[in-house]
């Protein structure tokens, strides 16, 4: 058979990566010699299906391995397509459970794909092309000889195989098929007449020889293929023999080694190991004895705890319980006789927790309900510190809530007690009839109630001082626990540093002891031995750390004692005493055990302790808020019927000062700015301001409704009031006792050297807004509200005076016959006086306001604008009066003799009356400006009348008559007082007629 190297040089890849040989498109007789397949082809020769389409081991080498051969070699050669009987072979040898399974790919090997070889193929592609080109140009001689030899053998075997008919190569070949049988044995060559002739015998011999030749050809081809692969089979057999020899040598060496080891164990190890085993047995007996002593000590825990509880030593009892629980969990775990002791200790610990909570509640109740005077601030300080330490140890961090509840009840009792004591000294109040506290407080007069309020304030200040002292004691205990936690951390760091230095030395000792324990104890593992050795090392280190902690504790205690802090020093002493008392009842050998001291871990963490510190501060703030809330109750109970709104300014100022003083004292004491009492006072102040404002607004309205708008005399007290304002005192002066020589009222009010003719209402208005300023001086908190109300009052005066004067409302209200020019001028001057004082009031309120409240000052700007507009409207009204007069008189003017004309005489007469009415009321500058506007109106009407009459500046008779009248008008106007230098400029009336 041909070798696998006899295939064509350039194979092509078919499906499933099987390399198929190229077909030659030329006819069969012209094709090159083809290599024979490794097994029998389906078609021996010729067209149709070529030999390459048959199964070939060589062509399918990527799928066939030595593991594919599951039966004997002849069966594999005779049937290369693997019949189904291989399962029968394996199940017969290895049982029915045997089955062929697919080997799972390794998880440690990556999945290699064609992309991984991409860079290599790209790099080698150029070299491959060069190599192929070189092979084509100059092929190797040996390769050419080998190829020619293989090709010759291949062609020879191919020619021999082609002699075999194709029918024997077909897969469906079967002799039982009549057609196949007749084809193989052609009976037509034999004589069918019966008998055997010499021709038939010759034909049968010839057919037999022909078939034998076919068989020989096939066997030779098979033998040739076997000879090509014989080397691999012989190599496998030789490898098996060599492996058996090596295994036999190894078995002999192991047997010799075991014999020598047994001799060494018998001669050198048995005696020494027996001595070591005896020593370890003795150590176990000592441990057992210690366990029994420990059990005896633990058995006495409950009687000792009962003894401690009888003397209220809660901390010592808790320490003893904690230590016993740790011993049970670490040293006596699994002891059957103590199986219920752990649960009993837990229940006992819960009972102690409940007892401590009840004891703390009783302490808080007795401390807060005792008398506030002539008693120490802190009651039973040692008891309180012991309780707080025990509660902290048990992580009962909500004990401050109990104190808060008792604090609320005590605050209510303080108010009740103060009211009861005050009522006892008031005979007018019958407690059997008036039973409620609020009704009793409303029945009191203001001085009596004010005295009660001051007593409540004083009591709550003492109450807060006592709470602060108690909370300071609790805070000192918490600080001591924090300091203890920090010391423990320092000791742990020191011990960890020492253990790191001895780590290398102890590691070798541990390893040696572990190996010894493994050799002497059956069933003891090296890890257990390591743990035991490590525990012994930790016991030694624990002894050193305890010595170091005692030194650190003594130094800390000495430094705190030298510092002289009574609270903190006592806290340290109490802590150490409590721990000594707790450890005193524990046997000494228990303390030497290597157990985890979770008693220290039972203490809260630094974060929890800091939270407790914050809760203590919040509790002090809460006490301040509760005190303020109870005071608010007293305030609102009195104000329910509106009695606080009816207080005088002085009384309300006293109330405000008392409240502000109490609030200030509580803020200094507690460090908390409470807003409830200030808010209640502000609410009452708003009501007071509202009533204050309504009374004065009503009073101003009544004054305006009765005002006849005539000039009033100015009493001396109002002049003194104005003078004090000019001196910078924005407040009501004290009432002076009238002397024997009283000054008479003046006609005008002098303000900074200027005369103001005023009405009586304006004088009272000045006093009213000074009352507003005085109220702001006494109660600064109501400055914003008072400013709003004062601006409303000023607006009301402006609008109401405008309605009465400009709107002529005074005709119906007070029965005036008409609104004269004198009334208008007097109203204008009064408004000017108010405008003069608005900036002074604004500056005063600005000093009482916060910078963020300055926006409310814009009300004064709006008021000033409204007043100036009103003044301008009054001036316009005076000009309008004369304007209507000029229009009426000049409409009848005629240019004719006699001169001056009656019309001009009438105009000059009215001008004189106007001047006489306003001269003494308005200042000179305003009078001149007013008459300039009146003169402009006169010129306008005269110019219009002359244009209507057709009089022009032509020097004619009419022009002369008009000049005489104009000269008469100018002379009369300039003859008026303060109008001598007034430039009337009458030449503008002359214009040429167009």
* pLDDT over threshold 70, residue 511: no
Count the residues in the chain.
994
What confidence category does residue 982 fall into, taking pLDDT thresholds of 50, 70 and 90? Answer: confident
* pLDDT over threshold 60, residue 396: yes
Buried b / exposed e across 172-205, counting CB within 10 Å, b at 16+?
eeeeeeeebeeeeeeeeebeeeeeeeeeeeeeee
* pLDDT over threshold 90, residue 338: no
Which of 157-171, 343-357, 429-443 shows the highest mean pLDDT? 157-171
The reported pLDDT for the residue numbered 139 is 59
| pLDDT, average across residues 668-688 | 82
Contact status, residue 403 vs residue 616, Cβ threshold 8 Å: no
The reported pLDDT for the residue numbered 293 is 85
Task: Choose between 646 and 842: higher pLDDT.
Answer: 842
| pLDDT, average across residues 963-976 | 87
Task: Choose between 85 and 348: higher pLDDT.
Answer: 348
Share of the chain above pLDDT 90, in %: 14
The reported pLDDT for the residue numbered 632 is 86
* pLDDT over threshold 70, residue 118: yes
The reported pLDDT for the residue numbered 529 is 43
* pLDDT over threshold 70, residue 585: no
* pLDDT over threshold 90, residue 832: yes
What confidence category does residue 56 fall into, taking pLDDT thresholds of 50, 70 and 90? Answer: very low
* pLDDT over threshold 90, residue 831: yes
Closest CA to 985 of 942, 939, 937: 939
* pLDDT over threshold 80, residue 499: no
DSSP designation for 990: -
* pLDDT over threshold 90, residue 346: no
| pLDDT, average across residues 664-676 | 84
Locate the domains of the chain by residue range: 707-734+743-891, 895-990
Torsion of CA 366, 368, 372, 375, to 10 degrees: 50
Q: In this structure, which topology does domain 895-990 adopt according to CATH?
A: Monooxygenase (1.20.1280)
What confidence category does residue 271 fall into, taking pLDDT thresholds of 50, 70 and 90? Answer: confident
Each residue's pLDDT tens digit, 613-623: 888 888 888 88
The reported pLDDT for the residue numbered 135 is 78
The reported pLDDT for the residue numbered 71 is 52
Token pair belonging to 210: 């022909």
The reported pLDDT for the residue numbered 48 is 40
* pLDDT over threshold 80, residue 175: yes
Give the separation between CA 82 and CA 84, rounded to whole angstroms: 7
Average pLDDT of every residue of the chain:
75
How many alpha carbons fall within 13 Å on the CB side of residue 479? Answer: 14
Q: Give Cα 58 to chain centroid, integer Å.
A: 75
Which of 110-119, 344-353, 703-712 shows the highest mean pLDDT? 703-712
Which of 435-449, 503-517, 855-869 shows the highest mean pLDDT? 855-869
* Cα angle 360-366-372, degrees, rounded to a multiple of 5: 135
Angstrom distances, CA of residue 609 to CA of 566, 612, 767: 22, 5, 62
| CB contact set of 502 (below 8 Å; sequence gap of 6+) | 537, 541
Angstrom distances, CA of residue 528 to CA of 289, 339, 536, 593: 21, 25, 13, 18
Contact status, residue 637 vs residue 442, Cβ threshold 8 Å: yes
| CB contact set of 794 (below 8 Å; sequence gap of 6+) | 769, 834, 838, 863
Find the range with the poorest average confidence among 49-58, 119-128, 561-570, 607-616. 561-570
Token pair belonging to 48: 């149709």
Find the range with the poorest average confidence among 179-193, 552-566, 646-660. 552-566
The reported pLDDT for the residue numbered 869 is 95
What confidence category does residue 743 fall into, taking pLDDT thresholds of 50, 70 and 90? Answer: confident
* pLDDT over threshold 90, residue 643: no
* pLDDT over threshold 50, residue 446: yes
The reported pLDDT for the residue numbered 7 is 37
Q: Give Cα 363 to chain centroid, integer Å.
A: 39
Find the range with the poorest average confidence among 128-137, 236-245, 372-381. 372-381
Q: Where are the alpha helices (DSSP H) in 950-993?
A: 957-974
Which of 4-18, 177-191, 714-728, 825-839 shows the highest mean pLDDT? 825-839
Each residue's pLDDT tens digit, 780-812: 878 888 899 999 999 999 999 999 998 888 888
The reported pLDDT for the residue numbered 498 is 65
Q: Where are the alpha helices (DSSP H) in 727-857?
A: 760-778, 783-804, 810-813, 821-848
What confidence category does residue 729 fall into, taking pLDDT thresholds of 50, 70 and 90? Answer: confident
The reported pLDDT for the residue numbered 866 is 94
Each residue's pLDDT tens digit, 403-425: 888 889 988 888 888 887 777 66
**Residue for token pair 């293989």:** 150
* pLDDT over threshold 70, residue 391: yes
Share of the chain above pLDDT 70, in %: 73
Find the range with the poorest average confidence among 290-299, 926-935, 978-987. 978-987
Token pair belonging to 430: 């019958």
The reported pLDDT for the residue numbered 761 is 93
Task: Choose between 141 and 293: higher pLDDT.
Answer: 293
| CB contact set of 468 (below 8 Å; sequence gap of 6+) | 620, 623, 669, 670
| CB contact set of 773 (below 8 Å; sequence gap of 6+) | 730, 731, 841, 844, 845
Positive or negative, the CA dihedral 561, 565, 566, 569 is: negative
Find the range with the poorest average confidence among 100-104, 323-327, 727-731. 100-104
Positive or negative, the CA dihedral 447, 451, 453, 454 is: positive
**Residue for token pair 């002369």:** 960
Architecture label for domain 707-734+743-891: Orthogonal Bundle (1.10)
| pLDDT, average across residues 139-167 | 68
Q: Where are the alpha helices (DSSP H) in 564-605?
A: 566-584, 588-591, 598-601
* pLDDT over threshold 90, residue 836: yes
The reported pLDDT for the residue numbered 104 is 77
Q: What is the CA radius of gyration of the chain?
A: 65
Each residue's pLDDT tens digit, 846-903: 998 888 888 889 999 999 999 999 999 999 999 999 999 999 998 888 888 888 888 9
Bridge partners (DSSP) listed for residue 13? 19
* pLDDT over threshold 50, residue 679: yes
């Amino acid at each position: 058979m041909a070798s696998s190297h006899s295939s064509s040089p350039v194979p092509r890849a078919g499906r499933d990566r099987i390399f198929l040989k190229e077909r030659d498109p030329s006819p069969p007789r012209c094709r090159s010699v083809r290599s024979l397949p490794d097994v029998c082809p389906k078609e021996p020769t010729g067209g149709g299906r070529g030999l390459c389409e048959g199964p070939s081991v060589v062509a399918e080498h990527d799928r066939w391995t030595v593991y594919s051969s599951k039966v004997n070699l002849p069966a594999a050669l005779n049937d290369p397509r693997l019949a189904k009987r291989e399962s029968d072979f394996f199940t017969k040898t290895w049982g029915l459970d045997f089955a062929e399974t697919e080997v799972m790919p390794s998880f440690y090997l990556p999945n290699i794909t064609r992309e991984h070889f991409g860079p290599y193929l790209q790099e080698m592609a150029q070299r491959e092309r060069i190599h192929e080109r070189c092979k084509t140009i100059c092929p190797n001689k040996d390769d050419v000889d080998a190829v020619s030899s293989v090709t010759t053998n291949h062609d020879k075997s191919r020619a021999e195989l082609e002699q075999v008919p194709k029918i024997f190569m077909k897969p469906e070949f079967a002799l039982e098929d009549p057609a196949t049988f007749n084809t193989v044995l052609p009976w037509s060559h034999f004589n069918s007449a019966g008998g055997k002739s010499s021709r038939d015998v010759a034909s049968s011999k010839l057919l037999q020889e022909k078939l034998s030749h076919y068989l020989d050809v096939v066997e030779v081809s098979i033998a040739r293929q076997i000879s090509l692969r014989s080397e691999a089979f012989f190599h496998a057999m030789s490898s098996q023999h060599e492996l058996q020899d090596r295994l036999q040598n190894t078995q002999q060496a192991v047997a010799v080694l075991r014999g020598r080891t047994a001799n060494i164990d018998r001669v050198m190890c048995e005696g020494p190991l027996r001595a070591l085993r005896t020593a370890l047995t003795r150590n176990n007996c000592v441990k057992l004895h210690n366990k029994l002593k420990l059990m005896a000590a633990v058995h006495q825990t409950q009687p000792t705890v009962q003894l401690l509880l009888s003397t209220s030593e809660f901390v010592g009892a808790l320490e003893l319980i904690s230590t016993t629980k740790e011993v049970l969990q670490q040293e006596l775990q699994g002891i059957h006789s103590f199986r219920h002791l752990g649960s009993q200790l837990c229940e006992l610990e819960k009972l102690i927790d409940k007892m401590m909570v009840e004891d703390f509640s009783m302490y808080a109740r007795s401390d807060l309900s005792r008398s506030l005077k002539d008693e120490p601030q802190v009651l039973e300080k040692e008891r309180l510190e012991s309780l707080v330490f025990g509660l902290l140890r048990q992580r009962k961090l909500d004990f401050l809530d109990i104190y808060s509840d008792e604090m609320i009840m005590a605050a209510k009792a303080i108010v009740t007690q103060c009211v009861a004591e005050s009522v006892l000294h008031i005979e007018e109040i019958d407690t059997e009839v008036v039973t409620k506290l609020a009704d009793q407080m409303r029945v009191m007069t203001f001085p009596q109630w004010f005295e009660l309020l001051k007593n409540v304030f004083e009591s709550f200040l003492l109450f807060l001082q006592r709470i602060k002292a108690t909370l300071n004691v609790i805070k000192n205990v918490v600080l001591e626990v924090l300091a203890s936690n920090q010391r423990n951390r320092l000791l742990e760091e020191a011990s960890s540093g020492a253990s790191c230095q001895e780590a290398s030395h102890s590691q070798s000792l541990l390893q040696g002891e572990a190996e010894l324990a493994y050799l002497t104890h059956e069933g003891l593992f090296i890890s257990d031995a390591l743990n035991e050795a490590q525990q012994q090392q930790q016991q030694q280190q624990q002894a050193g750390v305890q010595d170091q902690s005692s030194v650190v504790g003594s130094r800390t205690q000495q430094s705190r004692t030298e510092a002289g802090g009574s609270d903190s020093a006592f806290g340290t002493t109490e802590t150490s005493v409590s721990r000594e008392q707790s450890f005193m009842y524990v046997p000494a050998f228990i303390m030497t055990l290597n157990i985890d001291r979770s008693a220290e871990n039972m203490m809260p963490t630094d974060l929890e302790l800091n939270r407790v510190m914050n809760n203590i501060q919040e509790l002090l703030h809460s006490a301040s808020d509760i005190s303020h809330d109870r005071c608010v109750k007293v305030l609102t109970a009195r104000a329910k019927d509106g009695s606080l709104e009816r207080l005088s300014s002085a009384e309300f100022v006293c109330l405000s000062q008392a409240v502000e003083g109490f609030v200030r004292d509580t803020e200094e004491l507690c460090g908390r700015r409470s807003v409830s009492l200030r808010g209640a006072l502000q609410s009452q102040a708003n009501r007071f301001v509202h009533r204050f404002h309504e009374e004065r607004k009503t009073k101003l309205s009544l004054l305006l409704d009765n005002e006849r708008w005539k000039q009033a005399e100015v009493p001396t007290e109002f002049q003194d009031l104005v003078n004090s304002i000019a001196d910078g005192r924005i407040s009501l002066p004290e009432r002076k006792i009238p002397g024997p020589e009283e000054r008479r009222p003046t006609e005008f009010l002098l303000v900074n050297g200027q005369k103001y003719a005023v009405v009586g209402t304006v004088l009272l208005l000045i006093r009213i807004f000074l009352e507003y300023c005085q109220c702001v001086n006494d109660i600064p908190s109501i400055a914003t509200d008072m400013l709003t109300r004062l601006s409303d009052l000023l607006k009301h005066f402006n609008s109401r005076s405008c309605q009465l004067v400009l709107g002529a409302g005074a005709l119906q209200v007070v029965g005036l016959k008409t609104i004269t020019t004198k009334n208008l001028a007097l109203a204008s001057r009064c408004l000017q006086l108010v405008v003069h004082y608005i900036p002074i009031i604004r500056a005063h309120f600005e000093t009482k306001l916060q910078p963020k409240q300055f926006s409310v000052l814009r009300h004064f700007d709006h008021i000033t604008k409204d007043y100036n507009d009103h003044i301008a409207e009054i001036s316009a009204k005076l000009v309008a009066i004369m304007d209507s007069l000029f229009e009426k008189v000049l409409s009848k003017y005629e240019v004719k003799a006699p001169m001056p004309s009656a019309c001009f005489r009438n105009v000059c007469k009215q001008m004189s009356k106007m001047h006489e009415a306003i001269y003494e009321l308005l200042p000179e500058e305003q009078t001149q400006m007013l008459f300039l506007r009146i003169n402009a109106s006169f010129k306008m009407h005269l110019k219009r009348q002359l244009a209507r009459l057709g009089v022009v500046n032509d020097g004619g008779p009419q022009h002369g008559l008009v000049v005489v009248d104009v000269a008469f008008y100018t002379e009369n106007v300039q003859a008026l007082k303060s109008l001598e230098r007034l430039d009337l400029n009458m030449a503008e009336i002359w214009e040429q007629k167009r």
